[in-house]
Chain A
Amino acid sequence: MGEEVKVFGYWASPYSYRAELALKLKGVSYEYINEDIFGNKIDLLLKYNPVHKKVPILLHNGKSIVESVVILEYIEETWKHNLYLPQDPYDKATARFWIKFIDEKNEREKVTNEACEYMKTLESALNGKKFFGGETIGMVDIVASSVGYFIRVTQEIMGLNLLSADKFPQLFQWSEDFANCSIVKESLPPRDKLLPFVKGLIAKYQQDNAKA
């Protein structure tokens, strides 16, 4: 039976990036549709994600799966090769713990100076390994791409250099190794496009806050 796999995402979204990377790691062909989440075309979002109205949305043979971590777990369980979660229940629980940790803290906290504790703790999860998943990219790495790539860009724009080689050498090295993997690079939004986009978002945010 032909598999129909679609991802509705947004090019600059770290969450929709996760879904794409997971499918790429499994070698699953999919159709990517960019949704203009800032525009008014939200019909598809309302149809497939009525509760949260967000991307990413994974459509597999007509069935929709939403929330990036739920999507990652679904992909892992549906395409049972190139596994990115450990098989052992305890190791799996540990991976899930780190995934929750990465996502839990408010995004803003991660880019400001309060991020130090966060970075330190995350670095401890690496514990001398090349990737969070060990020798190869695992689910924690996929989720941590938000920190390793997207937040690095945001920090740069804000003139903060939190994820630096001298402050967090292991984590910095991980973010370099991760971003240099060809499979990772394939669907990362290019820096020269992402930088002005995030700049615009930050400017808008500051503007809105100044008005309030």
Chain B
Amino acid sequence: MAEEVVLLDFWPSPFGMRSRIALAEKGIKYEHKEEDLRNKSALLLQMNPVHKKIPVLIHNGKPVCESLIQVQYIDEVWHDKAPLLPSDPYQKATARFWADYVDKKIYEVGGRVWKTKGEKQATAKKELIETLKLLEKELGDKPYFGGESLGYVDVAFIPFYSWFYALEKCGNFSIEAECPKLIAWAKRCMQKESVAKSLPDQQKVYDFILEMKKHFGIE
């Protein structure tokens, strides 16, 4: 049976990037539909009525919502190529824990870095560095969080790398200076076609953030 895979997406979304990477890792052909979030399509509203958010993965007409759930779904359905989650339950639990940690911290803390100024921003920057350092520690000497190959945590986390330049410019700091091993990991991931094709250009993301700042009246 012909597989029909559609991804409703928005180009700067780190969450959308996760699914893009997972699909690319598995070599799955899919239709990429770019959404205008100020004018959401009827399809998006129909496929994700609860949250009305992207990304939405539509497989043979049935929607899967929430990026990490999509990545797990993709891993389970197309299980014979490039496994993202380990098979051992304990290692799987560890991967889930760190992906959950990335989910809980990076977007929210990173958001505060570009949305705030002064003391609030200083606090956000400090928190972001602490978060990144903890992840750097978890990475250790492994080439990827997944070990020898790209895994679930790598897929969950690497999209935020495309936002680093924008955060550095907004916060006037260097992430590489604080977390060199993490940046080395990010660059290693970017060598993979699945990742390089899925992440937008960092300058483009910065321009997008500047527009958002203007739109929300944040200097």
Contacts and interface: CB of A to CB of B under 8 A. Distances in A.
Interface string B39-69: 0000000000010000000010010111001
Interface stretch (A62-70, A149-157, A159-167, A204-212): A62-70
Q: How large is the interface on A (under 10, 10 to 19, 20 to 34, 35 or more residues)?
A: 20 to 34
- Which 8 residue pairs across A and B have the least CB separation, nearest first? A77-B89, A89-B76, A74-B93, A93-B73, A70-B96, A93-B64, A96-B69, A65-B93
A73 B92 contact: yes
Contacts of B77: 89
B90 interface: yes
18 contacts: A51-B134, A60-B90, A65-B90, A69-B100, A70-B97, A71-B93, A73-B92, A74-B89, A74-B93, A89-B77, A90-B59, A93-B64, A93-B69, A93-B73, A97-B65, A97-B66, A100-B66, A100-B69
A101 interface: yes
Contacts of B50: 101, 121
A73 B93 contact: yes
Given A90-B59, A96-B72, A101-B50, A67 B66 contact: no
Given A63-B90, A65-B90, A74-B92, A93 B72 contact: yes
B185 interface: no
Interface string A46-68: 00000100000000100101110
A205 to B, nearest CB: 22
B101 interface: yes
B60 to A, nearest CB: 9
A68 B192 CA distance: 33
Contacts of B62: 90
A106 interface: no
A191 interface: no
Contacts, number: 52
Contacts of A66: 97
Contacts of A101: 50
A112 to B, nearest CB: 20
A69 B72 CA distance: 14
Given A70-B100, A77-B89, A96-B69, 11 more contacts: A51-B101, A70-B93, A70-B96, A71-B93, A89-B73, A89-B77, A90-B64, A93-B70, A93-B72, A93-B73, A100-B69
Chain A binding surface SS class: helix
Interface in B75-102: 76-77, 89-90, 92-93, 96-97, 100-101
Contacts of B66: 96-97, 100
Contacts of A96: 66, 69, 72
Interface of A: 51, 60, 63, 65-67, 69-71, 73-74, 77-78, 89-90, 92-93, 96-97, 100-101, 121
Contacts of A60: 90
Contacts of A63: 90
Most buried by B among A65, A66, A74, A89: A89
B76 A92 contact: yes
B96 A73 contact: yes
Nearest to B138: A51
Contacts of B134: 51
A92 B66 CA distance: 13
Contact of B97 (A67, A78, A89, A97): A67
B90 A74 contact: yes
Contacts of A51: 101, 134
Nearest to B96: A70
B133 to A, nearest CB: 12
B193 to A, nearest CB: 25
Nearest to A121: B50
A77 B97 contact: no
Nearest to B99: A70
A117 to B, nearest CB: 10
A34 to B, nearest CB: 23
Contact of A90 (B73, B90, B100, B101): B73
A49 B65 CA distance: 29
